[in-house]
Amino acid sequence: MILQNSPSARRKVSFFIPVNRVLLPFERKHKRMAYKHLRHFIDTLEKAGELVRISTYVNPHLEIAEITDRMSKSPDGGKALLFENTGYDFPVLINSMGSYRRMCMALGVQELDDVAKEIEALFKMLSKPKESILDKLAMLPKLGQFASWMPKVVSGRGGCQEVVMQSPDLGKLPVMTCWPQDGGPFITLPVIHTKDPNTGARNVGMYRMQVFEKDMTGMHWHKHKVSAKHFSEYKKLNKRMPVAVILGGDPVYTYSATAPLPENVDEYMLAGFLRKKKVELVKCISQPELEVPADADFVIEGYVDPGEDLIWEGPFGDHTGYYSLADWYPRFHVTAITHREDAVYPSTIVGIPPQEDAWIGKATERIFLAPIKMTLVPEIVDMEMPVEGVFHNLVIAQIQKDYPGQAQKVMNAMWGAGQMMFNKILAVTDTGTRINDYKALAQYVFAELNPATDIYFSQGPMDVLDHSCSKMGFGGKMCIDGTRKYEEETDSRFDHDAFTPDVQVAALRAAFPEIRDINVSLLQQEIPCIIAAVEKNRRNHLRELHPQLCTQPGMEGIKMILYVEHTVDAQDLPSALWRFCNNLDPKRDHILTERPSSRNSQLVTACMGLDGTLKTKAFDDFHRDWPNIIVADDITIKAIDEKWNQLNLGPFLASPSLKYKQQIYGEGAVVSF
C-alpha cells in the first residue's frame, strides 16, 4: 500500500506530497466547452498560466523528452510545454494534460468527479420506471441531448485538410525519439481510426507508431484491442485495411481514444458527451471509407495489408517505466498526409511514473467509476489506481460490505470487466476507512488481514507489456481482502491477536548478507509489512530465505514481506513499490510461511512473502528477456543541463534519471549481466 496521503479534493497522484489548492478565478467561472482546435486549447492553457513557450532550439531526438521528464515529475506536474523551435515547420505541444488542473481543463470540467456524477444521473434516469405520460415527456429533453452528442459526417473538407502534402512524408513532422534505447522515432499520441469490414462499426484507439520510412510505420495494436480484431477480419477477407490517424484537435479526442469503452460504443459519442457538442467528421481524401474530426491538426491516411510480412517493431520506453521489447507488428503504409495551416504537433512521453499519462489514467478512474457501479459492481463506493501501479498493476476498490465473501464476489466481477481483466493486484476494502488516505487505508487493511486466508490467487489475461509473466499476456493475479471479516470468513487455526514486531535490522543483515537493505518504516506506523532488498545468488533463493527470515527474533507479527532487487533503494517507498508491482507475478511469486504462535502453541501465525525481484533463467527458470528500466543517456542530460537557463522554465530541475542510473543492468533495452 502507498503511504502518502492523497487529498480527497484533488485526487493527487501519490508520488508527491499533496498540496492543498485554492480554485483560481479562471476555474471558478470555467464552464464545459468544446475547443475549436488545438490552438484554442493552447490559448486557454496560456491564459490560465498553465503553458510555457520555449523559443530556444530543442531537438525532438531525446532532448524534448528529457526536458518533459523533468517537468512532469515536478510538483503538480509542472506546466504544459510548447516547443516552438524544433527544426521543423510545426511546434510541439507536450505535457498538455499533465496535471489535475490541465486534465480538468481538457475535459471542460472543474472536477473529474463531475463527469462521473453526470453519467450516474443518466443511468438512473434511463433505468427509472416510467409510470406516467408526464414521466415519459420529462425524458424528451434528455433524449434530445443524446442526439446532440452523436457524431455527424459533414460534406466538403475540414480544417484538418487545409493543406495536402503533395508527397506524404512523415520526415516533415517533428516525431520524437523519447529514450536512448527506443527502436526509432515514435508517434506517441496517435488517434487511430478503423472499421469492422462486416458491420462498418468504427473504433478509435491509441497505439504507438514507430516511423520506419517517410511513408511507413509500425502499427502496435495488441491482440486484445478492437483494431486488432478488425485486422483479423480483413485478413479473413484478404483485403487491405484502411486506417486513418489524427493528431490534435479538441483534446477530448485524445482522451476518448484511451477510454475503456465497450466495443459497441463509439468513442466520438463519448467525446460529444464530454464536450457537450457533437463531433463533426469529414471523409478522408485517400481512404474515403473512413471519417475523421474536421478540426484535427493532422490526418495521416493509409492502409495495412494483412497479407504482408510483419515488421520488427520496438523497443520502446513504455508507461510501465520499463522498455517494452521488440516484437512483430503490422506495417502501416501512408497514402496521404493533410493538416491545418497552423497545425501543432501534439506528443507525450511515457516512462518511470509519474508522467502525463498518470493524469489521463486518473480521469479514467474517476469517469468510469459510475458505469462500473451501475452495471457490474453495485456495492462499489470508490476506486483508486495509485500511480506506482501504472494503471493495471494495482487497483484499490472500496465497497459497502454486507455479507461474507462479498470481496471475492467483487474480485471476480472486476477481473471480468473490460480492461480490468489486465489487473494484477486488487486490494478490496470497505467503508471503515478512507480510501484516499493511504496511511489510514494500509493500517486498516493490515489490521483486518490474515495473510493465509485473505489473499487470493488466480491467473488470466495480462497486459502484453507485463514483463513479469512467464508467458506473454498470461499470468498471475492477486486479491487482498482488506475488509472487516464476518465469523464465516475467519479460521480458528490462527492467532488473530495483535503482535508488536521488533525487527532487528542489523542482526538480520548480519545473518543474511544477501539482504542489502530493509525498510521497517511502516512498522512505526502500525503497518506490519517490511521491504527487503535482496541480491539473489542461487536457484529458489527467496523460497529458502523467506521461511528462515520469518522465524528470526522480533519477526512474529510481520504479515507481509515485499522483496525487491538489491539495486533498489528500499527506503524510497514509492520507487520500491513501483519496481515491486512491475516485477511480481503473484501466483508464481508468493511464499506463505506459517509458524506456531508464541502465545498459544495450538495456534499459528502467517507471513506472506512476495518476490518482486528480477527473474532469470538461472535462478528462476524464467525464459523470457527481461527489460531494463528507462533512463536518459549522459550526453542528453548534460546537453539539457547546459541549455536550461535558456528555456524559460524557472529554477534548475535535475534529471530524474540520475536517481535510477544505479538500478539498470547494462546499457541496452534488455537486461544484461
Grid cell, residue 269, equals 459519442
Residue type, position 206, single letter: M
Please give the single-letter amino acid code of residue 609.
G
318 is catalytic: yes
Using alpha carbons only, give the angle 290, 348, 17 rounded to the nearest 5 degrees. Answer: 135
- H-helix or E-strand containing 574? helix 573-583
What are the φ and ψ backbone dihedral angles of 37, each rounded to 5 degrees? Answer: -170, 180
Among residues 170, 244, 242, 243, the alpha carbon closest in space to that of 210 is found at 170
Terminal CA-CA length for the chain: 31
Instruction: Report the 3 state secondary structure along 336-352.
Output: EEEECCCCCEECCCCCC
Tell me, rounded to whole angstroms, the distance of Cα 102 from its chain centroid: 17
Please state whether the peptide bond connecting residue 91 to the residue before it is cis, i.e. omega within 30 degrees of 0.
no
Given 318, 382, 585, 620, which residue is catalytic? 318
Sign of CA dihedral 336, 340, 341, 344: negative
Q: What SS3 state is found at 31? A: coil
Packing angle, helices 356-367 and 251-258, rounded to 10: 70
Cell numbers linked to 174: 517533428
Rounded CA separation 158/302 (Å): 18
Side-by-side strand order, sheet with 51-54: 51-54, 80-83, 92-94, 345-346
> What residues act catalytically?
318
